[in-house]
Chain A
Amino acid sequence: MLSFLVRRVLTGLATLFTAIFLMFLLVNAASDPLADLRQSTAPNKQQLIAQRIELLDLETNVVVRFFTWLGSFLTGDPGVAWRTGQDVGPLISHAIGSTLQLVTAATFLSLFLGVAVGVVSALRQYSSFDYMIIFLSFLLYSLPSFLVAVLLKQWGAIGFNDFLADAVIPWPVILGIAAVGGLIWSLAIGGPPRRRLQVGLVAAAATVAMLAYLQLTDWWENPTLGPILIGLLGAATAFAVVAIGAGLHNRRALYASLSTVALGVAIYFPMQSFFDGILETHLLIVGLGLLALGSGLLIGWLFGGPDRGVSMRSASITAVVVAALTFADQVMQVWVPYSDYLRGRPIPTFGDQTPNLGGSYWVGILDTYTHLILPSLTLILIAFAAYTRYSRSSMLEVMNQDYIRTARAKGLPERVVVVRHGFRNTLIPLATIVPIDIITLIGGAIITENIFARPGMGQLFIKSLLGAEIDPVMAYLVITASLAILANIVADLVYASVDPRIRLEA
C-alpha cells in the first residue's frame, strides 16, 4: 500500500513537472504580450515596447524564464498578473472559492439524479420510459454548454423574473403539467396496467395539489415551508428512504425515521427563536447538520431490534433531509425583503454576489443561491446526461450477471435483488469516474463561468490567456494538473477499496 502510494506520487511529480514545462512553452508561444502595443499609435511606442520587454523579461530564453518562474513558484511566490498588478495568490484563492461554490452542488445533484434515473431506466430496459431517457440523455449530451447557458439566461432568468412579477399559472397549464408528470411517474414505476394507472393518477393528483397550494397561498411571492410542509415532506422522505433501503415491512426502521421527522417538526419553533438570538456562521450551520445526523443515528439505535444498522441509517438520512428543509425554510424567510431590494427581479444572470448587499447571514446565503441557480442548472443538465448513460449501462451489465439470477432463484424479494445485489455493484465503475470528475471540476467550468461572468478558476484562466498574462495561467495549470494526478491516485484507492478483487500491490 505504502510502496504503491510512494511510487504513484513520484511518477506523478515527474509527470507534473514535464506537463508544466511543456505547457509553459506552449503558453509562451501562444501569447503575445506586445500585441496591443504594436497596434498603438502612441508617439513613444518604441519606448513602451522596450519597457514591457524589460518588465516581462522577454529577452531571456524561455527555458531560463521557466526555471526562474518555477523557482519563485516553489518558494511561495506565484507571480503577478502584470496587466492589473494584482498578486496571483489572492486571485487564485478567490477564484477557487467561487468555483467550489458552483461545482460542489452541481456535481452532487447531477450525480444523484443521473444515477437514480439511469438505474430506473436500466431496470425498465426497452420500455417507453427507457427510450425517453435514452433520447433525452443523447440530446443533452449533444447540447453545447454555451447554448444551454445562453438559453437559460434568456428563459430561466429573464422569463422567470417576468413570471414572478405576476405569479399566476393558468389552471389549464397546471392540469397539463400534472398529466405529463403522472404519465412519467406511471412509466417509471411500471408494473401491470392497473398499477400504472393508479401510480399515474396519484402522481397527477399530488402535482395538482402541490401547484394549487403554491398558487393559492401566493407561495411564489412569499415562499415558506413552515412546520406543516416540513412535516409532510419529511414523512414522504422517510417512507421513500425506508421503502428503498429497508423495505416497508421493516417497521422499526419506518418508525425510527418517522420519529425523527416528528422531532424535527417539534423543535421547529424553538429553532426559530434560537436562530433569532444568535449570530450564525458557516461553522455553526455545519455543526447543526452534524447534530441532526447524530440524533438520527441515536433514534435509530434506540429503536434497536436485531438490525439496528438499518434503522440508524434510515433515520439519519431522514434527519439530514429534515435539517436541510429547516435550513431552506430559514433562507426562504428573507426572500421577500431580498426580492423587494432587487426590485422584484431576484434571479441574476452574472457574477457570484450582489455588491454592497449587506443584511443578515441568511440574506448572504440566499444571494449566493440565486446567483448559483442558473450556472448550476447548466452544469447539472450536461453532467446528468453523462451519469445517466454510465449508470444505465453499468446497471445493465450487472443485472445480466449470473449472481443476479442466483439471487432471484433463491427467492429474494425484488427490492433486495435490485438494491443490494444490483445497485451496489453498479457503483463500482462509477467509483473510478466520480473522484476524477469532482477533483478536476475545481479547474472550473470554463464556458459556464465565462457566460455567467462568475469570477472562478475557468474565467481566470481564459481571461489571463487572452491577456497574455503567463503567471496566472501557469498557476492555474499547476493547480489543475496536480489535482488531476491526485484524483487518479484517489480513484485507484477507491477502486481497490470497493472491489476486493483489485489489489494495489500486484
Chain B
Amino acid sequence: MTTTPAPQPAESDSLENAIELKEVEGLSQGQIVRARFFRHKGAMVGLAVLIGIIVLAFSSVGVGSFSGWWHYTGNENGAIVNPRGAPTLSMPTWLGGDGFSLGEHPLGQDEIGRDMFAQVMRGTQTSLMVVAIIGVVAALIGVIIGSAAGFYRGRIDTLLMRTTDLFITVPVLVIGAVIGRLSGGIGGFAFAAMMGLVLWTGLARLVRGEFLGLREREFIDAARVAGASDLRIIFKHILPNAIGVVIVSTTLLMSSAILLETALSYLGVGIVRPDISLGMLISEYQGAFSTRPWLFWWPGLFIVAIALCINFIGDGLRDAFDPRQKRIPSASKMDRQMMVQRRAGEAAVAGGAAPGGVPASGSDDPGAPAR
C-alpha cells in the first residue's frame, strides 16, 4: 500500500524500497528493525555520543574499587591554578587558542579549589545510573503487570487500571519530590529504584493495550491448541510481538527520567551530598554564573547532551519499529511529477516512440535523505 503517486519511485525512495524488497527475501523482523535503526543518522550519532559519554564518565574517575585515570576525585581542595579557578583547557590554534592542552583542571575549579572535571564526571555517572535503574525497574514492573493485566483481564486488569489512575492524579514531579525527601539519607540508588516503582504505570498501560489486541489473534489459538502453557504464550508468543512498544517507551521514559532527576536534585529534593548530581551542581553554582560561568556551563552541557542523545535514539527506535510515518506527497511535488510526465509524454508523441514511453530518467527531486 504505497502512498506515492509517482509512476516511478523517486531516487530517494530507492533505499526504502530496497529494504522492502529485502523483506520479501525473508529477513527476520529483528533484522529489518535493526537495518532501519542503523540507517537513522540522528540515532546513530546519538548512540555514538552517548557511548562516548558513558566511557568517559566511568573510566575517568573510576567506579567502585577501580580508580580511573583521572588524578582528582572532586573532593580535595587543591591549590587554585588559574585566577578564580578558570579552566586550564586551551583550544587548538585553529580555534583561536594557543595550542591544545588539557592542563591541570580542564573544566576549571570552584571557589575552594575542587576539580570541576571530576565533579562533572561523578555527576554524569550518577545521572546515568539513575536513568538506567529507573528504566530497568520501570520496564520490568511495567511489562509484568501490563502483560498480566492484558492477558488475564478481569480483576488484575481492574486493579492495574485503578492503580494507574492513582498515579495520574499526582504530578510525577510532586511524587518525585516527596520520594526524594524520603530517600534523602539513603542515596542515589534507593532514590532511582523508588522512582522506578512510580514510573512504570504508563508502560504497563501500553503493554496491556498491545496484549489485549494480540491475545485474540489466531497464532495464540494455535499455540494454545498445541498445548502451550500461559507463561509460554505470554513470553514466547505475545511479548516478542509487543517488544517494540516496550523498547520505545522505555527509551522515552529514560529521557524524561534524566530531566526529572536533575530537576529534583536542582530543587534540593533529589540526590544530596556526598553523592553528586548534575542538577545539584547547577543548583550550587548558579549564583556564580557571572563570576565563574564554567561551573554552570559544563554540568548543563552534559545534561543536555545525555537527554538529547537518548531522545534521538528513542526517535530512531520508534521509526525502526513503527515505520508508518512515510512521506506525504506535497502538492507542488505532485504538480512537478505531472509536468515531468506530461513532458515525457509529449516528447514520446513527438518522437513517435511507443506510447507510454519512458518517463524522464532523473527525477528532479533533490533526493532528501532517507529519514
Whether, in the assembled complex, A215 has its beta carbon less than 8 Å from a beta carbon of chain B, the answer is no
Residue B269 interfacial (CB < 8 Å): yes
Residue pair B327, A150 in contact (C-beta under 8 Å):
no
Bound-complex Cα distance A417 to B329 (A): 13
State whether B263 touches A447 (Cβ < 8 A).
Answer: yes
Query: Which residue of chain B lies nearest to A458 when distances are taken between CB atoms in the complex?
Result: B173
Contact B169 A446 (CB under 8 A): no
* Residue A212 interfacial (CB < 8 Å): no
- Other-chain contact of A465, B3, B177, B315 (Cβ < 8 Å): B177
Known A-B contacts A144-B279, A144-B303, A147-B303; the reply to A466 vs B268 at CB < 8 A is: yes
Q: In the bound complex, what is the Cα–Cα distance between A125 and B370 (angstroms)?
A: 12
B331 neighbours in A (Cβ, 8 Å): 408, 414, 417
- Report Cα–Cα, A31/B181, bound state, in Å: 7
Residues of B within 8 A of A19 (CB): 166, 169-170
Which of B31-39, B209-217, B223-231, B305-313 has 4 or more CB atoms under 8 Å from chain A? B305-313
Residues of B within 8 A of A450 (CB): 267
Binary flags per residue of B175-188, CB closer than 8 Å to A gives 1, else 0: 10111011000000
Q: How far is the CA of A212 from the CA of B289 in the complex (A)?
A: 34
Query: A192–B325 Cα gap in the complex (Å)?
Result: 25
Question: Which of A85-93, A477-485, A494-502 touches B?
Answer: A477-485
Q: Are A396 and B368 in contact (CB under 8 A)?
A: no
Q: Which residues of A contact B162 (CB under 8 A)?
A: 15
CB atoms of B311 and A400 under 8 A apart: no
Residues of chain A in range 379-421 having any CB-CB distance to chain B below 8 Å: 393, 396-397, 399-400, 405, 408, 414, 417
Q: Is B255 an interface residue (CB 8 A)?
A: yes
Task: Tell me, yes or no, whether A361 is within 8 Å of chain B by CB.
Answer: no
What is the CB-to-nearest-CB distance from A34 to chain B, in angstroms, rounded to a whole number? 15
A484 near B168 (CB under 8 angstroms)? yes
- Residues of B within 8 Å of A126, CB to CB, are 327, 368-369, 371
Question: Judging by beta carbons under 8 Å apart, are A138 and B269 in contact?
Answer: no
Docked pose: A341 CA to B1 CA in angstroms: 68
Minimum CB–CB distance from B251 to chain A (whole Å) comes to 13
Contacts A26-B178, A396-B328, A400-B328 given; indicate if A146 touches B171 (C-beta within 8 A): no
Q: Is B259 an interface residue (CB 8 A)?
A: yes
**A192 / chain B contacts, CB cutoff of 8 Å:** 332
B266 touches A144 (CB 8 A): yes
Number of A-B pairs, beta carbon distance below 8 Å? 135
Cβ B269 vs Cβ A466 within 8 A: yes
A154 CB within 8 Å of chain B: yes
Tell me whether B282 is interfacial, beta carbon within 8 Å. Answer: yes
Q: Which residues 30-85 in A have Cβ within 8 Å of B in the complex? A: 30-31
Cβ-closest chain A residue relative to B306: A142
**A142 nearest in chain B by CB position:** B307
Whether A440 sits at the interface, judged by CB under 8 Å, is yes
Contact B328 A125 (CB under 8 A): yes
Given contacts A143-B304, A150-B289, A461-B174, contact A190 B332 (CB under 8 A): yes
Q: How far is the CB of A149 from chain B (nearest CB, A)?
A: 9
Q: Which residue of chain A has the shortest Cβ distance to B325 in the bound complex?
A: A396
A27 within 8 Å of B (CB atoms) = yes
Check if B169 sits within 8 Å of A144, measured CB to CB.
no
**Residue B165 at the chain A interface, CB threshold 8 Å:** yes
Instruction: Give how many B residues have a beta carbon under 8 Å from the other chain's beta carbons.
Output: 51
- Chain A residue at minimal CB-CB distance from B180: A30
Quick one: which of A124, A143, A154, A414 contacts B289, CB cutoff 8 A?
Answer: A154
CB–CB A477/B170 < 8 A: yes
Q: Report the separation of the CA atoms of residues A488 and B168 in the bound assembly, to the nearest whole angstrom.
A: 9
Fill in one digit per residue for A109-142: 1 if any B CB lies within 8 Å of its CB, else 0: 0000000000000111111000000000011011
B326 located at the interface, meaning its Cβ lies under 8 Å from any Cβ of chain A in the complex? yes
Q: How near does chain B come to A363, taking the closest CB pair, in angstroms? A: 30
Return B146 CB to nearest CB of chain A, in Å.
19
Interface SS, A side: helix
Q: Are B332 and A15 in contact (CB under 8 A)?
A: no
For residue B28, CB closer than 8 A to chain A, the reply is: no
A480 touches B311 (CB 8 A): no
The answer on a CB contact under 8 Å between B165 and A15 is yes
- The complex places the Cα of A191 from the Cα of B325 at a distance, in Å, of 23
Contact A446 B304, beta carbon cutoff 8 Å: no
Bound complex: CA A123 to CA B328 (Å): 8
CB distance from A393 to the nearest CB of B (A): 7
Whether A217 sits at the interface, judged by CB under 8 Å, is no
Known: A461-B174, A465-B181. A141 touches B311 (CB 8 A): yes
Nearest chain A CB to B92 CB, angstrom units:
26
Q: Does A2 contact B (CB under 8 A)?
A: no
Contacts of A139 in B (CB 8 A): 304, 308
Q: Are A481 and B330 neighbours in the complex by a CB distance under 8 Å? A: no
Tell me the smallest distance from the CB of B53 to a CB of chain A, in Å. Answer: 14
A490 at the interface (CB under 8 A from B): no
Q: B137-149 vs A: 1/0 string, CB under 8 Å? A: 0000000000000
Known: A26-B179, A127-B368, A192-B332. A150 touches B286 (CB 8 A): yes
In angstroms, Cα B181 to Cα A465, docked, is 8
Which B residues touch A417, using CB under 8 A?
331
A101 → chain B closest CB, angstroms = 20
B262 an interface residue at 8 Å Cβ cutoff? yes
CB contact under 8 A between A145 and B168, given known A27-B178, A125-B327, A126-B327? no
Distance of A143 Cα from B325 Cα, bound (Å): 26
B296 at the interface (CB under 8 A from A): yes
Q: In the complex, A485 Cα to B170 Cα: how many Å?
A: 10
Interface residue? A18 (CB, 8 A): yes
- Closest-by-CB residue of A relative to B299 is A147
A122 partner residues in chain B, CB cutoff 8 A: 328
Q: Chain A contacts of B177 at CB under 8 A? A: 446, 461-462, 465
A284 to B252, CA, bound (A): 47
Nearest Cβ on chain A to B155's Cβ, whole angstroms:
16
A 185-208 to B, binary, CB cutoff 8 A, 1 in contact else 0: 000001110000000000000000
Would you call B93 an interface residue if the criterion is a C-beta within 8 Å of the partner chain's C-beta atoms? no
Tell me the complex Cα distance, A226–B347, Å.
60
Given A29-B182, A142-B308, A443-B174, A16 and B169 touching (CB < 8 A)? Answer: yes
- Given the known inter-chain contacts A30-B182, A142-B308, A462-B177, please indicate yes or no for A23 contacting B262, CB distance below 8 A: no
B106 within 8 A of A: no
CB-CB nearest 8 A-B residue pairs = A142-B307, A30-B181, A30-B182, A481-B169, A142-B308, A126-B368, A399-B328, A19-B169
Q: A11-B165, A488-B168 are in contact. List 17 more A-B contacts (CB 8 A).
A: A18-B166, A23-B170, A23-B178, A26-B179, A30-B178, A30-B179, A30-B181, A138-B315, A146-B282, A190-B332, A399-B328, A400-B324, A440-B171, A447-B263, A462-B269, A465-B177, A465-B269
Binding site for B on A (CB under 8 A): 11, 15-16, 18-19, 22-23, 26-27, 29-31, 122-127, 138-139, 141-147, 150, 154, 190-192, 393, 396-397, 399-400, 405, 408, 414, 417, 440, 443, 446-447, 450, 461-462, 465-466, 477, 480-481, 484-485, 488
20 pairs of residues in contact across A and B, judged by CB atoms under 8 Å = A30-B181, A122-B328, A123-B330, A138-B312, A144-B266, A146-B283, A147-B300, A147-B303, A147-B304, A150-B282, A150-B289, A191-B332, A396-B328, A446-B174, A461-B177, A466-B268, A477-B174, A480-B169, A484-B169, A485-B169
